[in-house]
Amino acid sequence: MTSPFRFNRLVHSDWSVLPAKRWTAVALSLEDSWLIEHLAPTPSPDLFVDDLLKQGRRTLAGFDFPIGLPSAYLERTGLNFLDLISEPCSMHARRFFTPAETLFDISPTQPFYRTHPAGGRHTDLCERLGCASFDELLRQCDKATENRLRAEAIFWTVGAKQVGKAALCGWREILIPVRRRGGRLWPFDGLLAELDTGGLTIAEAYPAEAYRHIGVRGLVGKRSQQGRMAAGRILLEWASRHRVRFDPDIARRVCDGFGAGGDGEDAFDALAGLCGMIEVVAGRRAEMADDRIVPAQREGWILGQTDLPL
């Protein structure tokens, strides 16, 4: 199948606040197929940004941290996400990117916090950000669908589902320097067909969303080597059907469930997220549902998510 887009390099980074848990997978476009040619720990942000912006590449890079803010919050504060990352030295941006000490110290203009106090609740977050309900702190793509539970609010920074700290880190280390050097942001700057002409485009990509797109959803948990081996067999079958080839060393690691080490889960997510991006760029999956375009260009969206909120 001929791709409807002109990207010739896809990059997916499984991101974390902890640099040691960041992994990146890369695929290159060939004449009639994709070659997954790189899977390794992510380099330092400076080196990584330099590589992403490498001349002569039409690169789409996916990151699994939230990119965007809920509409209700934007309306209440008068802020704009693109302005925040494009003008990080402005008074509003400096305050926004500086975390308050605790949940009880936040405000609409300073919504992130460093430490979570004992007894802090979702209702405290809503009260201090001026929200009538917790639902106002979710983007449309964060809400529960028929196939997925809801995400955590971006400003909540405690628990296994929290994403706020990784988002703030990713915005500072990736989005702001990329934006400063001319990189574009999907879907804020346009849809994929408008952004594939050259240079770097960054998008939000979510491995747990990609599992279903490539057929590995519902298998044994990714935290065990055996679970990853089972998922790997499905992944290789998917690749064979869709003219996706693996570097031999990466193929061996897929068959081995990415080893017994603690970083196997991170490497698996980096690769799964990349395969989900291939599904979109190859034209087998829409980048989003058509009726989501207007809200998505205000608050962000997950690449390839077509399910609507319940």
CATH of the domain at 20: 3.30.420
Question: Which DSSP string corresponds to 35-49?
Answer: EEEEEEE---HHHHH
Residue 2 lies in a domain: no
Q: Is 150 helix (H, G, I), strand (E, B) or coil?
A: coil
Residue 1 lies in a domain: no
Claim to verify: residue 58 and residue 89 sit in the same structural domain: no
- The CA distance from 125 to 131, in Å, is 8
Q: Would the pLDDT of 219 be above 60?
A: no
Residue 307 lies in a domain: no
pTM: 0.95
* Strand order, beta sheet including 58-63: 184-185, 199-204, 58-63, 9-14, 23-29, 34-41, 244-246
Q: Tell me the residue range of the domain where 35 lies.
A: 9-67+171-299
> Considering 132, 165, 198, which residue would you say is the last residue of a domain?
165
Residue 308 lies in a domain: no
**Backbone angle region of 231, left / alpha / beta, with phi > 0 → left and psi within -120 to 50 → alpha:** alpha
Claim to verify: residue 119 and residue 233 sit in the same structural domain: no
Residue 305 lies in a domain: no
- The CA distance from 27 to 215, in Å, is 19
Claim to verify: residue 36 and residue 182 sit in the same structural domain: yes
- The CA distance from 89 to 47, in Å, is 23
pLDDT tens digits, 255-288: 999 999 888 999 999 999 999 999 999 999 999 9
Q: Which of 229, 230, 227, 251 is nearest to 239 (CA)?
A: 251
Mean pLDDT of 219-239: 88
> Considering 115, 149, 165, which residue would you say is the last residue of a domain?
165
Mean pLDDT of 59-75: 97
pLDDT of residue 149: 86
Give Cβ neighbours of residue 37 (< 8 Å, ≥ 6 apart): 26, 27, 28, 247, 250
pLDDT of residue 161: 79
pLDDT tens digits, 97-124: 999 999 999 999 999 999 999 999 999 9
pLDDT of residue 220: 53
Mean pLDDT of 208-219: 84
pLDDT tens digits, 120-174: 999 999 999 999 999 999 999 999 998 888 889 999 988 877 899 999 999 999 9
Q: Would the pLDDT of 187 be above 80?
A: yes
Q: Which of 237, 247, 230, 246 is nearest to 214 (CA)?
A: 237
Give Cβ neighbours of residue 119 (< 8 Å, ≥ 6 apart): none
Claim to verify: residue 83 and residue 218 sit in the same structural domain: no
Q: Alpha carbon 72 to chain centroid distance?
A: 21
Mean pLDDT of 88-98: 96
Percent of the chain at pLDDT > 70 equals: 98
pLDDT of residue 158: 83
Claim to verify: residue 290 and residue 177 sit in the same structural domain: yes
Residue 306 lies in a domain: no
Residue 221 lies in a domain: yes
302 pLDDT band, cuts 50/70/90, is very high
Claim to verify: residue 212 and residue 281 sit in the same structural domain: yes
Claim to verify: residue 282 and residue 176 sit in the same structural domain: yes
Claim to verify: residue 212 and residue 75 sit in the same structural domain: no
Residue 42 lies in a domain: yes
Claim to verify: residue 288 and residue 192 sit in the same structural domain: yes
Would you say 167 and 154 are in contact if contact means Cβ atoms under 8 Å apart?
A: yes
**Backbone angle region of 116, left / alpha / beta, with phi > 0 → left and psi within -120 to 50 → alpha:** beta
Domain count, the chain: 2
Residue in the block written with tokens 């296994």: 160
Mean pLDDT of 178-190: 97
Q: Would the pLDDT of 1 be above 80?
A: no
Claim to verify: residue 191 and residue 237 sit in the same structural domain: yes
Where does 44-111 have alpha helices with state H?
Answer: 45-52, 71-77, 81-86, 91-97
> What residues form DSSP beta bridges with 13?
24, 63
Q: For 134, phi and psi rounded to 5 degrees?
A: -60, -30
Burial class of residue 212 in the structure, from the number of CB atoms within 10 Å of its CB (0-12 exposed, 13-18 middle, 19+ buried)? middle
Percent of the chain at pLDDT > 90 equals: 87
Claim to verify: residue 80 and residue 221 sit in the same structural domain: no
Strand 100-102 vs strand 58-63: parallel, antiparallel, or unpaired? unpaired
> What residues form DSSP beta bridges with 41?
23
> Considering 113, 137, 165, which residue would you say is the last residue of a domain?
165
Claim to verify: residue 45 and residue 193 sit in the same structural domain: yes
pLDDT of residue 218: 64
Q: Find the helix or strand (DSSP H, E) in which 226 lies.
A: helix 225-241
